[in-house]
Structure 1
Amino acid sequence: MSSGDLLDGGAEAAAGLAVWGAAGIDQSAAASTRAALVADDVPERLVAKDPTLWGPEAQAEAAIRLGWLDTFVRSRELLPQLAELRAELADLDHVVLAGMGGSSLAPEVITRTMGRPLTVLDTTDPGQVAAAIADRLDRTVVVVSSKSGTTVETDSHRRAYWQAFLDAGLTEAEAGRRFVFVTDPGSPLVETATEMGAFVLLADPDVGGRYSALTAFGLVPSALAGVEVAELIDQAEALAKALAAQSDNPGLALGAALGTAATTGRDKVALISDGTGIDGLGDWAEQLIAESTGKNSIGILPVVVESPDSPGATGQDVLTVTYGGALAPEAVPGGGIRPHLAVNGPLGAQFLVWEYATAVAGVVLGIDPFNQPNVTESKENTNRILDSGPPAESPTFTEGAIEAYWSVPGGSAPADLAGALGTLLAGIGPDGYLAVMAYLDRAADADAALIRPALAAASGRPVTFGWGPRFLHSTGQYHKGGPQVGSYLQITGAVVADLPVPGRPYTFGELQAAQAAGDRQALTGRDRPLLRLHLTDRAAGVAQLLDAVRNLRG
Structure 2
Amino acid sequence: MVTAAGVSVTLRGDAAEEAETALQRLISDGVPGALAAKNASLWGPDAVSEAGRRLGWLDLAQTSRPLVGPLNELAADYRAEGLDHFVLAGMGGSSLAPEVITRTAGVELTVLDTTDPHQVGRVIADRLERTVVVVASKSGGTIETDSHRRVFEQAFADAGITGDALKRRFVVITDPGSPLENTARQAGYHVVLADPDVGGRYSALSAFGLVPSALAGADVGRLLDEAAELTPALRQPYDNPGLALGAALGAAAAGGHDKLLLADAGSGITGFGDWAEQLIAESTGKEGKGILPVVLEGVDAPGFAPSPDARGAVLGSYDASAITVRGPLGAQFLLWEYATAVAGRVLGINPFDQPNVQESKDNTGALLKAAEEQGPAAALAAGEPDLVFGAVEVHADGAIKAGSLSGALEELLGLIPAHGYLAVMAYLDRTGRDAGAAALRELLAVRAQRLRGQQSTAHVTFGWGPRFLHSTGQYHKGGPQNGVFLQLTGEVERDVPVPGRPYTFGTLQLAQAVGDLRALRSRGRPAVRIHLRDRAEGLAQLLDALEN
- Which residue pairs with 1:134 in the alignment? 125
Cα–Cα, structure 1 residues 455 and 276, in superposed 2: closer, same or farther, change >3 Å? Answer: same
Moved more, 525-534 or 106-115: 525-534
2:3 to 1, 5, 13: 13
| Consecutive unaligned residues in structure 2, runs of 5 or more | 371-378, 450-457
1:27 positional shift: 1.6
- Which residue pairs with 1:202 in the alignment? 193
Q: Name the TM-score, length of structure 1 as normaliser.
A: 0.94
- Which residue pairs with 2:323 in the alignment? 341
- Which residue pairs with 1:6 in the alignment? none
1:439 to 427, 432, 438: 427
1:22 positional shift: 6.0
- Which residue pairs with 2:461 in the alignment? 464
Is residue 2:273 matched to residue 1:282? Answer: yes
- Which residue pairs with 1:362 in the alignment? 344
- Which residue pairs with 2:30 in the alignment? 41
Distance in 2, Cα, partners of 1:49 & 1:139: 44
Is residue 2:48 matched to residue 1:66? Answer: no
1:173 positional shift: 2.5
1:272 positional shift: 0.4
Amino acid at match of 1:404: V
Distance in 2, Cα, partners of 1:530 & 1:548: 20
Amino acid at match of 2:71: L
Cα–Cα, structure 1 residues 407 and 312, in superposed 2: closer, same or farther, change >3 Å? Answer: farther
- Which residue pairs with 1:454 in the alignment? 443
Is residue 2:309 matched to residue 1:321? Answer: no
Contact 2:400 2:412 in 1 (8 A): no
Is residue 2:534 matched to residue 1:542? Answer: no
Amino acid at match of 2:473: G
1:372 alignment partner, SS class? coil
Amino acid at match of 1:51: A
Contact 1:262 1:300 in 2 (8 A): yes
Q: Name the TM-score, length of structure 2 as normaliser.
A: 0.95
- Which residue pairs with 1:306 in the alignment? 297
Mapping for residues 70-469 of structure 1, pairs under 5 Å: 70-90=59-79, 91-314=82-305, 315-324=307-316, 333-334=317-318, 338-388=320-370, 389-407=379-397, 413-444=401-432, 445-460=434-449, 461-469=458-466
Distance in 1, Cα, partners of 2:96 & 2:76: 25
Contact 1:118 1:225 in 2 (8 A): yes
1:504 to 495, 501, 505: 501
1:490 to 487, 491, 512: 487
Moved more, 168-177 or 132-141: 168-177
Contact 2:393 2:533 in 1 (8 A): yes
CA deviations 1:129-166 (Å, max 9, x no partner) are 00001111100000000000000000000000000000
Percent of paired sites with the same residue: 60
1:536 positional shift: 1.1
1:70 alignment partner, SS class? helix
2:51 alignment partner, SS class? helix
- Which residue pairs with 1:327 in the alignment? none
Cα–Cα, structure 1 residues 62 and 266, in superposed 2: closer, same or farther, change >3 Å? Answer: same
RMSD: 1.3
Distance in 2, Cα, partners of 1:454 & 1:243: 40
Distance in 2, Cα, partners of 1:132 & 1:392: 29
Distance in 1, Cα, partners of 2:383 & 2:314: 43
Contact 1:172 1:196 in 2 (8 A): no
1:509 positional shift: 0.1
Distance in 1, Cα, partners of 2:518 & 2:381: 10
- Which residue pairs with 1:52 in the alignment? 41
Contact 1:396 1:415 in 2 (8 A): no
1:275 positional shift: 2.3
Amino acid at match of 1:482: G
1:392 positional shift: 4.4
1:187 positional shift: 1.0
Distance in 1, Cα, partners of 2:17 & 2:71: 46
- Which residue pairs with 2:519 in the alignment? 522
